[in-house]
Structures are given as structure tokens and as C-alpha cells.
A = this chain, B = another copy of it.
Amino acid sequence: MQDFQGFVDIRDRFQSQVSTVSSELLRHGRSESYHPSLPPQAIVYPQSTQDVADLVALAKQHKIPLVGRGAGTSLEGQTAAPFGGISVDFSQMNKIIDIDLANMCVTVQPGVTREELNRELRHTGTFFPVDPGANASLGGMAATRASGTTTVGYGTMRDNVMGLEAIMATGERITTGSKAKKSSAGYDLTALLVGSEGTLGLITELTLRLHPQPDAILAGIVGFSAFSNAVTAVMDTIQSGLSMARLEFLDASSVRAFNAYAGESMPEMPHLLFEIHGSENGVHETMQMFSQICQDLGGTEFRASSKTEDRNALWKLRHNGYYAILASRPGARAVVTDVCVPISELAEVVQKTQADIEQSPLSAPILGHVGDGNFHAILLIDPDSEQELEAAQHLSDQMVERALAVGGTCTGEHGIGFGKTKFMEQEHGPAWQIMGSLKRALDPHNILNPGKLVPEPVFNAPTGSVPPVLPDQ
């Protein structure tokens, strides 16, 4: 059992920044996923880097687990507290510290959300492109190496985090990277922390790459009679060097759900949604070439527009996809899969997945980031049906097995948490043990997000959850 005195010390230090309200604990033990809540014993709301440093020092002294949390939009249990301890909620560290247009970067606290940042940037001529759909916090997006609809054009968080400040498990404050555009000065600690899901350090500040707002934007949609043709169009587009800012697909059953949810009347066939950024001439030239590629593969007539309201409507449709699909089965919850495969394998993998879904008792529309080879099946289940959850998990496992068999990955953008640790050995082989060695080296007492991502037990993990020791505030 964890040190009672530790929690007392933490309450003494953090006072009103601590909460042990049961409903809040329950909410902090889960995020936007089907995984059950594993609540922490207390929540601390740091307001500064010094707060985080003090918290880590106390946690280290008393061997109390610390589980970082941004906006709580993760999907694989990253915010759960299987060994109890403290949920470190970064929502009050939400300042934009510095917008540096000369160097095209911005420094923010981890609790700033991507929508807040882009609102603030609106009048600067720049924007931050990474867009996972949810209004996630930038710290959380870095911690899970988030990506989303714009990755085909602008990369993932891996490509857009220039530097970090973090408090490591040892309690030390480190800074990584810089505003220089590149460096070969030693190990890439920025890249090591991005995607580490709070298991190596707690991110307290991020410097992010900004991009110029394009002069012209053109968005549109095109249907295909067969999904394989849509994928071939995407491969031809990428090989031609056409610069696409977004390139998404919906299968026929997603389109059906969209139509029902938003009162649309798109033909129920596979569709590509796209967006092109550039100069006025550039986007039209790119669109013509892309249109030609699609026509050659039997694509329907293009619906494309450069009007802001049309574009917003299109991407709102896409971003509401999850809710549209949820609404197609009232009362259902969703298990969202997230494999990513080499694009050469995508058509076959999606087709086999659709066949598997047809064999199953579930309905499961598919959509995703076709330009990256990343797709999501939204497996709709009755939350009270053990049998449906099992069927969903079986389907999800099948998809991962198939992705790994063709050289893909078990997660394109949702991360590992505890939901996908079971695939890590198969995906990485001995490299997973290397990850365990890194974890042991940097967090010898396993206080940072124990039970996630790395092999367990890598060393003496905390011995299990204990009930909250502090009175409700």
C-alpha cells in the first residue's frame, strides 16, 4: 500500500489544487473510450512547471504513481490509474507563452487545446495543422504522438514538436530541442518524449512548428464504385508528387450514417474527401491533376469548393463522423480500431476487414486517413452485451494481426495505453524490451504512468490500487 504520508504531504503542498471528489476521480480514470474507469486516488491541478516539479519530487519520495492528463480524449486507457496514485490534470496550465512569427513557432503550456491555439493564431497568418478531430490538448497530443486528417500534408506531432520542457521521473527539469530548425547534437530526446504517453516524463511546455495559412484552400469529395480504385487514386496522387493537405476516405456504410445524421444525400459508395492548400493557381492545377487521376479510375463527378463555409461543412461532416456513426445505432458505444498499414496493402486489408465485419454480428463503418494507410472501424456495441464486446475485441484483434502480417502497426495515432500493450511484443519483438530498458533507466521507481506502454512487470511496480486516503474537498 502506498504511503499515507505522501498523500498528506501532497495535499499540504497543493491545497485547493487537489481534488478527491468521487465523480471527478471516476471521470479522470477514463477517457473517450470503451475502457472501464480505473480512478486515481486524487487529482492535482498544477499551474506551473514548479508545481509539476514539486509534485514529482513528492511522488518520487513516496513512490506514488503519477498519470498525466490533457483533455481526456485518448482512446486506449492512457489516463487510467490501474495502480492508483495521482491524476496530473494539466487543464490549468493553459497559457500560450510566446508566438514567435520570425521563427514560425509557438511556445505553449501543455493544457492549451489545438482549437484554442488556432483561434489565437487566426490573425497571425499562421496555423498549427495537426488535427486529430477531438479538441485535444497539445500536451496530450505530443504525449500520444497524435496525428489525424492533415498528416498527409503536414505530418504528425513527431514532425511538429520542435522542443519540450519536461519534468523527468528523477524530478529534474529538462529542455529538449530548440528554435533552431535542426540539430545533430546528441540523442533526439524530443522524439523520445513525443509518444511516450507520460511514462518517461511529464511535459510542462512545448514549442510547436507553425505553418503559413495558405493563400487558397480547395476542398472536395469524390465517389468510387470500388474502394480499391479510391486507394489506387491515392497512390497515384502521392507518387505524382501532388501536394494534398488532407486525403480521407469513407466507406459506403459510413456515408449511409452521415446521410442519416446530417441530412445529406451522398451516393452510398466509397468516397474520398480531400483538401488542397497553396496559391490560387497552385490549388487549381493540383485539383485538375487529381481530378484526372480520379476520373481515370472511374471516380464520380467532383464536388469541390474554395468557399470557407463549404469547406467547414465538409470537415464538420468528417469530424462528426464518429457521432454520426454512433447515432446510427441508438444507445450503442464504440470500440474504435486504429491500424495503419503500408499503403500498397491498404485496399486488400480494408476489403478483408469488411468481409470479417460482415461475418460478425456487429455493424462497423470504416473511415480513415487513406493518404497515411491508417483507418478506423467504428465497432458499434450494446454496452450491456458481453457477447458484443467480445465480438468487437475479436474483430479488433483480427485487424491488428492482419496489419502486423503485412508490415503495419497496431496503432497509427491512438497509442498504446494499456489497451494495446498485448500487441507490443508481436509488433516490435526484442525492441519492446529495449523500450523497457529505457523506461527502467529514466524511471527506476516506475512512478510515471505505470502499467502503460512498456513490458510489465519491468521492475517493482506499485502493489495495486488503494482507496482514496484524503477526504472529499
Contact = CB atoms under 8 A, between A and B. Distances in A.
A384 to B, nearest CB: 31
Number of copies: 2
B427 A372 contact: no
B180 A408 contact: yes
A351 B465 CA distance: 61
A191 interface: yes
B178 A186 contact: no
A214 B240 CA distance: 8
A415 interface: yes
Interface string A162-177: 0000001000111110
A186 B180 contact: no
A50 interface: no
A100 B344 CA distance: 9
A340 B181 contact: yes
B281 A184 contact: no
A151 B371 CA distance: 23
B187 A192 contact: yes
A179 B407 contact: yes
A373 interface: yes
Contact of A178 (B158, B408, B415): B408
Contacts of A184: 144-147, 156, 195, 411-416
Given A241-B211, A408-B178, A343 B183 contact: no
A427 B186 CA distance: 10
Contacts of A407: 178-180
A22 interface: no
Contact of A212 (B101, B241, B410, B423): B241
B434 A168 contact: yes
Interface residues of A, number: 93
Interface string A210-236: 011111000000000000000000010
A181 B371 CA distance: 9
A156 B182 contact: yes
Contact of A181 (B146, B239, B372): B372
A239 to B, nearest CB: 6
Nearest to A433: B172
B192 A188 contact: yes
Contacts of A211: 241
Nearest to A439: B187
B238 A412 contact: no
Nearest to A440: B441
A311 B373 CA distance: 36
Contacts of A372: 180-182
A467 interface: no
Contact of A343 (B181, B187, B240): B181
B240 A212 contact: yes
A211 B240 CA distance: 9
Contacts of A427: 185
Residue from the set A151, A416, A434 with the largest chain B CB neighbour count within 10 Å: A434
A453 interface: yes
A267 to B, nearest CB: 28
A279 interface: yes
A87 B95 CA distance: 51
Interface in A89-114: 100-104
A437 interface: yes
A317 interface: no
Nearest to A372: B181
Nearest to A210: B239
A429 interface: yes
9 contacts: A100-B342, A126-B239, A145-B184, A145-B188, A179-B408, A180-B412, A185-B409, A186-B432, A188-B195
